[in-house]
Structure 1
Amino acid sequence: MNVSVVLAVVSLFAFGVGSFVWQIVGAKQVYAPSYMIVEGIVFAFVGVLLHFVERKSFNLSYESIRYAVLAGLLAGIAVYALILAFSMGGAGSVIFPVSRLGMIISVALAIIVFNEPITSTKVLGLGLGISSIIVLSS
C-alpha cells in the first residue's frame, strides 16, 4: 500500500469520527455557528502547529488563497447543514450516506479537471460505493 493510500485511510478515520461528533453536537442542540467557530480555531491552530513542526513559512499564491476561501466557504455550509440536519432529528444512518454522495462530484471533477483515466476497476469501485450508500440510507 503506498503512502497516499495510507494517508487517505487516516483521513477516512478522522473524517468519520469528526462527522460523528457533528451528529453528537446536533443531537445535543448545540448552536452550530458557535461550535463552528471553535472548530475553526482548532483547525487553524493545527495549521500553525504544522508550520512550526515542518519549519515552513506561510506561503500561498493568490490563486491558492481563492481556492482556500472557496473550500472554507463550502466546508462551512456543509458542516452547518449537517449539524442542522442532526438537530432536527435526522438519523446518522441516513444523513451520512446521503452527504457522502458528494464523492460522485469529487470523482467527476477529478476526471474532468485532471484528466484522470476512467478504468473499469474505478467504475466498479465507485458503483459499489454508491450502491452501499444507497442501501445504507434506505
Structure 2
Amino acid sequence: MVTLLIGANMNVPIMLAVASLIAGGLVAFTSQFGVRNGADIASFILVDAITFLCLAVLVMLVTKTPFTLTGRLTGWAIVCGTFASISVFTVLYALKFGGEGSIVYPIQSLQVVVAVVLAFLVFREPVTMTKLIGLGLGIGSLLILSR
C-alpha cells in the first residue's frame, strides 16, 4: 500500500519519516490552537485518542491486517501509550499555563535525544561520528529555537 502512495523507487522509511514530521508539526499547531482557544485539555486529548483509534482500525481494515498483539507486546503498547499520554498532557498544560509554542515545542523535540541514546544502548544501533555530529547539531538548533 505504501508503495502505491509514494512510488516504488523512493526510500520508504525516509518518506514515512518526512510524512510523520509534517503530521507532527500539524499536531503541534492544532493542539496549540485548541489550547489557545480554551479547549479542555482532557476532552481534547480524548477526542484525539478516539480519532487515533478510528484511524488505526481503518488502517487494519484497508491493509487487511488482523489484530495480533498479545502478551508481552500488549504490555509494551500500554507503556508506550502511557508515555505518549504524559508527553501530550504535559506539553498542552505547558501551553495552557502560558508557555509559548515557539519555546515549548523545541524543548519537547529534544525527546529525540532520549530515543537516539536508547537506540544506541538497547538496540545496539551503531554510533558513528556522523550521527553524533547530527545529534549535536539537532540539539544546538533546538536550543537556539527555544530562546
For the pair 1:5 / 2:50, whether they are aligned, the reply is: no
Is 1:55–2:78 an aligned residue pair? no
1:124 alignment partner in structure 2: 133
Select the structure with the greater relative contact order (CA < 8 A; seq sep ≥ 6).
1
**1:89 Cα deviation after fit:** 1.5
Residue correspondences, number? 138
Q: Which residue of 1 aligns with 2:4?
A: none
Find 2:100's aligned residue among 74, 80, 91: 91
Is the 1:98–1:137 contact (alpha carbons within 8 Å) kept by the matching residues of 2? yes
Structure 2 stretches lacking a partner, 5+ long: 1-9
1:70 alignment partner in structure 2: 79
Runs of 4 or more off by more than 2 Å in structure 1? none
The answer (yes or no) to whether the contact 1:51–1:57 under 8 Å persists in 2 is yes
Correspondence for 1:135: 144
Residue 110 of structure 2 is aligned with which of 101, 104, 116?
101
Q: TM-score, normalised by structure 1?
A: 0.96
Tell me the percent identity. Answer: 38
Pairwise CA RMSD of aligned residues?
A: 1.0
Q: Give the TM-score, by structure 2 length.
A: 0.90
Task: Give the superposition deviation at 1:32.
Answer: 0.6
